[in-house]
Amino acid sequence: MTKIALITGATSGIGKATAFALAKNNISLILCGRNTEVLKELEIELSKQVAVTTLNFDVRDKTEVFKKIEGLPETFKNIDVLVNNAGNAHGLDPIQDGNLEDWDSMIDINVKGLLYVSKAIIPGMIERKSGHIINIGSTAGKEVYPNGNVYCASKFAVDALNQGMRMDLNKTGIKVGAVNPGLTQTAFSKVRFKGNEEKAEKVYQGFEALQPEDIADIISFVVSRPYHVNIADLTVMPSAQASSTILNKNKDS
């Protein structure tokens, strides 16, 4: 039977690439995001391959999250795969200079948003005694780096929730795992640096960064494992990266 996957943050970066990768594997899609225009474009494009519906919400808005997920058409209600991908970094400041709004955004999107969406979907998975939750963490959730403070904390929380969910759902038939990307060239740094393209581009200069498609490929592999195989925790870095702080960049970049 055709699987159904719900992807948060599906309008860009890893989320968008994952939508294309899963469609290639004939998985029906529920694409969630804040940008209605891009959602519409993706729906038109991807419905050439698979059944697609879109949900327009901000993961921070718990009322909307529950309303939109509960309102899914019958044919999309039995979600097999949840890809908790929505997440952002806001700012790269030492803790003493941190901006309260940036902190709120990161905790609200990366941690609370992931919790709301999961809470809305888990009961149906429990009822059906099957489901697969893939949490998109980060190398920043494995190892703190200078000025990463709250972003790292939010991704450490994702790591903790990934482990906690797997334990609590162990008897329910739902499998839970995380994919933790390192330096991946998306709009991530542009958002982190509030639109400063120059600063953002520099992050990925002088080495070959991961592309969203590299991670989408891996998510697609994770999804396609037989049911008894759970990829519980997977960290992926560009070959030039050894840790959150060790990166082999060309001297002159």
Residues that bind ligand 8X3 (CB under 6 A): 138-140, 182-183, 244
Of 131 and 177, CB closest to ligand 8X3 = 177
Residue nearest to ligand 8X3 (CB): 138
How many whole angstroms separate alpha carbon 167 and alpha carbon 161? 10
Give the shortest CB-46-to-ligand 8X3 separation in angstroms: 26
How many whole angstroms separate alpha carbon 97 and alpha carbon 125? 42
Catalytic positions are 151
Give the shortest CB-21-to-ligand 8X3 separation in angstroms: 19
Helix, strand or coil, per DSSP, at residue 104? helix
Q: Do residues 172 and 183 lie in contact, with contact meaning Cβ atoms separated by under 8 Å?
A: no
> Which residues, at least 6 apart from 13, have a Cβ–Cβ distance to it below 8 Å?
184, 186, 187, 188, 212
Of 3 and 155, CB closest to ligand 8X3 = 155
How many whole angstroms separate alpha carbon 138 and alpha carbon 206? 21
Give the shortest CB-225-to-ligand 8X3 separation in angstroms: 24
Of 11 and 244, CB closest to ligand 8X3 = 244
